[in-house]
Amino acid sequence: MSRLFSIAAIFFCFEIGLFLVFIPWSELWEGNYLLYYIPNFRPVILHNVFRAGVTGLGAIDILIGISELRHFVRSLRVDQAAD
């Protein structure tokens, strides 16, 4: 169960990270329906600095996924060596 949870967490980190890296620069970001409900936030959310910050969070999330993947592979090696 622990291995399954670890694999799911690694995939989740990569998926969310890639989403946060690419979506702020796509048409989905600009055509977001939530921006029409609160028009005062539109200039802030569409500003390049905000987009870069979201992209940075995505990059950090990808790095966390890589770190977790390395930790998972090391734990597998230790388990195989113990057998």
pTM of the model: 0.84
- Report the run of H or E that residue 66 belongs to, with start and end: helix 48-82
Angstrom distance (rounded) from CA 29 to CA 23:
6
pLDDT digits (tens, 9 = 90+) for 11-60: 999 999 999 999 999 999 988 888 888 889 899 999 999 999 999 999 99
CA angle 58, 74, 76 (to 5 degrees): 110
